[in-house]
Amino acid sequence: MMGLSWSDVKDWKSSYLESQAERLRAERAKWLQGASDAEVAMSKVASSGAGVEAAKASLRKKIEQVDVCVNKLSELMMATSQACDGVWSVQTRILECKQYAEMHELRIRSDGGVESQPGKDASGDDEKKLAGKVSEVLTYAGAVDQRYKMRMWAVATGMYASPETHKSASPGLYNFPQAEWSATEVAVWWKALSAAEKQDLIAHHPEMIGNLNGVDMASRDQANRILLPQKISQAEAKVQALRATFKMNPSEYYRHDRVPKSKVAVNSELEWEEKRLADLKAIRSTLEENDKLRESKPHTPKRGLVYMDDSKKDDRVKVAISTGDVDHAKHVSTILPGMNNVPSEDIGDHVKNAERVRQHSIRNAKISSEQVATIAWMYDTPQGGQVVSSKYATKASHEIGSALEGMHASRHTNGIERAHTSLLGHSYGSTTAGKVAKMIRKGVLDDLVMYGSPGAGARDTREYNLDHGRPYVSGIKSDDAVKGKGTLNSKFGNNPMFMPGVKHLANNSERDRSFFIPWKMFDRHSEYLEEGTSSLEDISRVVTKVPVKGER
User: Which string of DSSP letters, residue by residue, matches 460-502?
Assistant: SGGGS-BSS--EEEE--SSS-TTTTGGGGSGGG---GGG-TTP
Residue 471 predicted with pLDDT over 70:
yes
Which of 115, 135, 160 marks a domain boundary?
160
In a domain, 208, yes or no: no
Q: Angle between the 195-204 and 217-246 helix axes, to the nearest 10 degrees?
A: 10
- Supply the range of the domain harboring residue 134: 6-160
The two beta strands, 420-426 and 447-451, are parallel
Segment (H or E) for 544: none
User: Would you place residue 520 in the very low, low, confident or very high pLDDT band (cuts 50, 70, 90)?
Assistant: low
Give the pairing of strands 331-336 and 106-108: unpaired
In our burial notation (b when 16+ CB lie closer than 10 A, e otherwise), range 490-524 reads: eebbbbbbebeebbbbbbbeeeeeeeeeeeeeeeb
User: What's 48's domain CATH number?
Assistant: 1.20.1260
pLDDT digits (tens, 9 = 90+) for 307-352: 999 987 778 999 999 999 999 999 999 999 999 999 999 999 999 9
Q: pLDDT tens for residues 281-313?
A: 999 999 999 999 999 999 999 999 999 999 877
Query: pLDDT tens for residues 126-158?
Result: 999 999 999 999 999 999 999 999 999 999 999
Among 102, 136, 160, residue at a domain's last position: 160
CATH number of the domain enclosing 372: 3.40.50
| Predicted confidence (pLDDT) at residue 464 exceeds the cutoff of 90 | yes
Check whether 258 has a pLDDT greater than 60.
no
Judge contact between 316 and 279, C-beta under 8 A.
yes
Give which of 27, 59, 24, 28 is closest to 43, Cα–Cα. Answer: 59
Contacts of 260 (CB under 8 A, 6+ apart): none
Is residue 472 included in any domain, yes or no? yes
Residue 259: predicted pLDDT? 52
**Any domain includes 182:** no
Answer with the residue of higher pLDDT: 520 or 202.
202
CB contact set of 301 (below 8 Å; sequence gap of 6+): 323, 324, 325, 355, 358, 369, 373
Give the pLDDT of residue 252: 55
CA distances from residue 471 to 7, 19, 260, 325 in whole angstroms, order as listed: 31, 32, 53, 25
Residue 37: CB atoms within 10 A of its CB come to 10
Q: What number is the average pLDDT over the span 379-401?
A: 95
522 contacts: CB under 8 Å, gap ≥ 6: 479, 480, 481, 482
Tell me what pLDDT residue 440 has. 98
197 inside domain: no
User: Where are the strands (E) in 103-214, listed by range?
Assistant: 106-108, 114-116
Q: What is the mean pLDDT of the chain?
A: 91
Residue 319 CB partners (closer than 8 Å, separation 6+): 279, 283, 305, 307, 308, 309, 343, 347, 377, 378
Query: Residue 544's pLDDT is what?
Result: 98
| Assigned domain for 465 exists | yes
Is 9 within 8 Å of 138 (Cβ atoms)? Answer: yes
Q: Which of 447, 541, 453 is nearest to 501 (CA)?
A: 447
Q: What is the mean pLDDT of residues 415-433?
A: 97
Residue 256 has pLDDT above 60, yes or no: no
Report how far residue 443's alpha carbon sits from residue 416's, in angstroms, rounded to the nearest whole number.
15
Q: Is the pLDDT of residue 379 over 50?
A: yes
Q: Of 197-211, 368-382, 430-444, 519-533, give the lowest mean pLDDT range.
A: 519-533
For the chain, the domain total comes to 2
pLDDT of residue 52 exceeding 90: no
pLDDT number for residue 60: 85
The more confidently predicted of residues 533 and 45 is 533
- CB 461 within 8 Å of CB 493: no
Last residue within a domain, chosen from 127, 160, 193? 160
Give pLDDT, residue 1: 46
Whether 191 has a pLDDT exceeding 70, the answer reads: yes
- What does the DSSP 8-state code read for residue 374? E
Report which secondary-structure segment, H or E, holds 71: helix 50-103
Please count the CA atoms within 13 angstroms of the CA of 39 that sit on its side-chain side: 13
Q: What is the mean pLDDT of residues 350-370?
A: 98
- Window from 262-271, 292-301, 456-465 with minimum mean pLDDT: 262-271
Rounded CA separation 489/160 (Å): 53
Burial 348-384 (b: 16+ CB within 10 A, else e): bebbebbbbbbbbbbebbeeebebbbbbbbbbbbbee
What's residue 46's pLDDT? Answer: 73
Average pLDDT over residues 28-48: 85
- Does position 246 have pLDDT exceeding 80, yes or no? no
Can you tell me whether residue 149 is helix, strand or coil? helix
Strands (E) across 242-295 are located at: none
Instruction: Report residue 468's pLDDT band, with 50, 70 and 90 as the boundaries.
Output: confident
Residues contacting 212, CB < 8 A, separation 6+ = 177, 186, 220, 406
Residue 334 included in any domain: yes
Query: Is pLDDT above 90 for 59?
Result: no
pLDDT tens, residue by residue, 84-132:
999 999 999 999 999 999 999 999 999 999 999 999 988 899 999 999 9
CA distance 30 to 404: 32
Ramachandran class of 520: left when φ > 0, alpha when ψ lies in -120 to 50, beta otherwise: alpha
